[in-house]
Amino acid sequence: MENTGTLRKMIVEDAETIQYWLNLNKEKSFFLNDLIGSEVELTWTGQIHCINCGRSIKKTYGQGFCYPCFMESPQAAPCIVRPELCEAHLGKGRDVEWEESHHNQPHMVYLAQTSGIKVGVTRKTQVPTRWIDQGAWRCILLAETPYRQLAGKIEVELKQYVSDRTDWRKMLTDSKSDENIETQREELLDYLPDSLVEYAIEKADLYEFKYPVPKFPTKVQTVKLEEAKTIRDKLTGIRGQYLYFNNGDVVNLRKYNGYEVRFSA
């Protein structure tokens, strides 16, 4: 089996064990779970295409954009990384129609256990995809807001007390912290200012995820596709947007959004 196309982040599906598909040209290409334990080959053809406008480029900005799109596309706006800056609810943004359908919509503030506990924000319709993409093994909701900026303001308040980042090495070696995410949730809700407390969720279910990784490595090291050009090795697992190979080698496919690759198994 072989296919060539422009890479996007893997397509995921929540199940007893998370299901993964290679995403070429924005379509399901290979069901990767079935390939774990088999040798695969991933080759970069040398071509890169902007994931927004499709033009041929030499390097990407912000996970797959050409420089003009990085500066102008709503999908690369500062409020993507810093939701507290969003003005979609005011009818403002790089593309008002896009902002209305993506950011002037209900958003969730959550806690995720990847390595340690982190706080994050996502559009309601992205639950649980966002958590799976991060490689979280446990998640719980904190708050629901009618638009993105409010969720960002809650995140700003809470990240004074808990991280908003993932230690990817610990996540990939399954180095779980012994923190209690439910207890942490209750403690953090007490820190919400009066102006934001109305958005808190009183009771929330605990979500847990199992990834197709038969055995976690004790150490991991990143293989850079732009340097290696071709990776030919046994696929040993998948978590978040990372592929595992022999000897602790890992590749973050999301980093290569827009890269044209040839995949065979």
**pLDDT, position 56:** 97
The whole model's pTM is what? 0.95
Region 217-231 average pLDDT: 96
- The H or E element containing residue 44 is strand 39-49
pLDDT at residue 12 in the model: 98
> Residue 140: which of 157, 153, 158, 156 has the closest Cα?
158
Query: In this predicted structure, what is the pLDDT of residue 92?
Result: 97
pLDDT of residue 18: 98
Whole-number pLDDT of residue 194: 94
Does 177 have pLDDT greater than 80? no
pLDDT at 175 over 90: no
Residue range 44-78, pLDDT digits in tens: 999 999 999 999 999 999 999 999 999 999 999 99
In Å, how far are 64, 102, 104, 213 from 85, measured between CA atoms?
Answer: 22, 14, 13, 37
**Maximum separation of any 2 CA atoms in the chain, in Å:** 58
